[in-house]
Structure 1
């Protein structure tokens, strides 16, 4: 395995080297970097031209300039990058650090959400092949996959930012809008839960009534500007998380593990009151510490109540505890929404990757968190939807191919339940092709983020790449290539390691 990875690294290094030479040659021949200065009537025109020639080393032949850049970029192997300066004399290392931080924050979140949601939808779609849920997922997958990125970004910017900001000033929903939300949500829940026609009809009716009543109540009490989950919704969410983890592992029939999960939820209720003062204005260190404590308590409860299934009980209880802790955190975050609206009357800014400079922002931890992350919402949705479409289709195809294999039929003939067959046998093997898609998708999203960042005004890698290309400045373009190419190589290495983990035969 190590020899295989080293060989892949060597091949990838050669590909990166050849690609960098081609990128550099194409960039410097895309225009004249001195064109704007040749046309200016400034008195110091000659001095400006001389300064730019010095900054960009235009007095050297192109291959010598490329080798100079390559020598500086090779120092990144020892964490001492020297990527030169831009045409204006700005240090590209500094530009790259600020731009990469914004882009990677956006792309990483999009990839994680797309993997989790897309794989889950693909598995459910394969299990319920040719059902209404399968047809709906297939329709939306093809719809989102065919959407042009720029068009989807502009559309979401209009409805999700501009019109939302106007609506949030005095939020109110009409009865028709509430009914539409209830019907859509009920249709989604009924299709996911499945069952015969009678069961789906009852699920649809009950969900529609509950959602209509809840949204109507939220609208009447002004929940949109002063939201909160409250302990009842947190407990309900904890029970849903418990049912989810039980379904994935041992099922709802294992009473001992079920009781351990219920004990975890009860402990979470006690912790909700005990940690309330600590969560009023925490720090990231305190939040992470409390999350780790929740996981440790959940694992301890699972070990104590697990009996002969201690390992499974620890997984179920730890997952339930973390889900409960996340809901408690979200409750505190929502309670500070109105305070953030007072600081930033237009909360979702569509231009730039930050709303208010931190040095001029006053508020607690949650206000700063809103200010840091609120701009992530819309561009993340654009990139996530497009990736979800691909992940769901690939996962569905891989699952369908896997569940028709002989070893799956053997597992069923041995009396194993569908839950065990799908989660422990089929899913693990079906994920092997998906790891390749993940590796390439991360690099593709960096490319797609160029358009998304342009629409939403993010000063990330996309903006740096576009600016360098427009000004015929190879420095920023090559810095973008270094990050995108390096990310592609690194993600492919992770895919190779994931192959060995998912299928031990690959190690040999």
Structure 2
């Protein structure tokens, strides 16, 4: 197992180098002159050229990549063209917001998705099975931004019971320790901040977690249907074990491998793909930061954020693979 984990960690190096090259080239092939954007629409050509030289944008592409890659090896992702702040600091200041939103969205998706899938498998072809799988189909097909806007309209504007933007009421003070507002509220025993941060999480978590919830529900149902028809499940029932123990201890445990796979993939996608949700709900996370960087042609910010997202996604997949061996002892990595 240790050799397998070490091997996968070493494979991170070529993967991230490939991602860095791909992102570096694509960003520079997009239309628009970042020097002109940075200098201003009415700036003179001399000032634009000086800006281009200042940020090294006048050098050949391979020279720009070499300079950036050398800085990358030192853990330096460069400075943002628009804010002039280190990209590493900006990423780590915004990542806790994305992590908190993704964790709550994934928790919602796992709890509801697995329960819906189990009940649908147990009561196959009954009303709940048809209803839950129909809802799951709509959940997979529904655009995240449209669902977010509908949630804002219904619960934020029409019913006026939930906040529609931000992470917390700006009038409530909160000591920032970890960047995770719910955790910081608990650590500081600030229950007003805890309530406000939880309320602000509800709508974006539902919007972001709907697709993973639908995927988990469908894969849980399919996997559970395959397992509960196995001979060992019939044997457990013949022994007189309670149905709850048969389903949750024996059937679900053996059905977890594909479920864990989907959860791992979806969680990695949530961390990197919360762009639309964060934009709709004005959530100050990494996704919104990336969108703003794209609009501003902020090369260092785009490259740094995409590379960081790729790193997180690969690490989450590694953790998912390692979990297989603990869930199913028959699986051994070499």
- Give the TM-score normalised by structure 2: 0.86
Which residue of 148, 156, 165 corresponds with 1:351? 165
Aligned pair count reads 318
Q: How does 1:87-486 map to 2 (within 5 A)?
A: 87-88=81-82, 89-165=84-160, 348-356=162-170, 358-359=172-173, 365-486=190-311
Q: Does structure 1 conserve the Cα–Cα contact (< 8 Å) formed by 2:52 and 2:58?
A: no
Partner of 1:235: none
1:6 Cα deviation after fit: 2.2
Q: Distance in 2 between matches of 1:39 and 1:366?
A: 46
State the superposition RMSD in angstroms. Answer: 2.4
What does the per-residue CA deviation read over 1:389-431, in whole Å, with 9 as the maximum and x for residues that have no partner? Answer: 1110001001111112232233333333322221221111101
Partner of 1:240: none
1:26 Cα deviation after fit: 0.3
Q: Distance in 1 between matches of 2:98 and 2:254?
A: 32
> Greater helix percent: which structure?
1
Q: Distance in 2 between matches of 1:123 and 1:366?
A: 35
| 1:41 aligns to 2:36 (yes or no) | no
Q: Distance in 2 between matches of 1:150 and 1:403?
A: 38
Q: Does structure 1 conserve the Cα–Cα contact (< 8 Å) formed by 2:268 and 2:317?
A: no
Q: Does structure 1 conserve the Cα–Cα contact (< 8 Å) formed by 2:94 and 2:286?
A: yes
Q: Does structure 2 conserve the Cα–Cα contact (< 8 Å) formed by 1:442 and 1:487?
A: no
Change (3 A) 1:48 1:355: farther
Change (3 A) 1:500 1:37: closer
Partner of 2:11: 11
SS of match in other structure, 2:164 = coil
1:37 Cα deviation after fit: 5.6
Change (3 A) 1:52 1:498: same
Q: Distance in 1 between matches of 2:304 and 2:297?
A: 14
Q: Does structure 1 conserve the Cα–Cα contact (< 8 Å) formed by 2:278 and 2:285?
A: yes
Q: Say which one has the larger Rg.
A: 1
Please identify, of 425-434 and 29-38, the stretch whose mean Cα deviation from structure 2 is larger.
29-38
Q: Distance in 2 between matches of 1:415 and 1:359?
A: 57
- Give the TM-score normalised by structure 1: 0.58
Which residue of 74, 77, 86 corresponds with 2:80? 86
Partner of 2:181: none
Change (3 A) 1:360 1:403: closer
1:58 Cα deviation after fit: 1.2
Q: Does structure 1 conserve the Cα–Cα contact (< 8 Å) formed by 2:108 and 2:206?
A: no
Structure 2: unaligned runs, 5 residues or longer? 176-188
Change (3 A) 1:360 1:15: closer
1:499 Cα deviation after fit: 0.5
Q: Distance in 2 between matches of 1:49 and 1:391?
A: 53
Change (3 A) 1:21 1:164: same
1:141 Cα deviation after fit: 0.8
SS of match in other structure, 2:42 = coil
| 1:491 aligns to 2:305 (yes or no) | no
What does the per-residue CA deviation read over 1:264-289, in whole Å, with 9 as the maximum and x for residues that have no partner? Answer: xxxxxxxxxxxxxxxxxxxxxxxxxx
1:453 Cα deviation after fit: 1.0
SS of match in other structure, 2:255 = helix
Q: Does structure 2 conserve the Cα–Cα contact (< 8 Å) formed by 1:149 and 1:448?
A: no
What does the per-residue CA deviation read over 1:23-77, in whole Å, with 9 as the maximum and x for residues that have no partner? Answer: 111012112212336773357x7446524542x32133222322333333334xx
Partner of 1:66: 65
Please identify, of 29-38 and 97-106, the stretch whose mean Cα deviation from structure 2 is larger.
29-38
Q: Distance in 2 between matches of 1:129 and 1:489?
A: 36
Q: Distance in 2 between matches of 1:37 and 1:68?
A: 21
Partner of 1:210: none
Change (3 A) 1:421 1:372: closer
SS of match in other structure, 2:159 = helix
Q: Distance in 1 between matches of 2:241 and 2:203?
A: 43
Partner of 2:178: none
1:451 Cα deviation after fit: 0.7
Structure 1: unaligned runs, 5 residues or longer? 76-80, 169-347
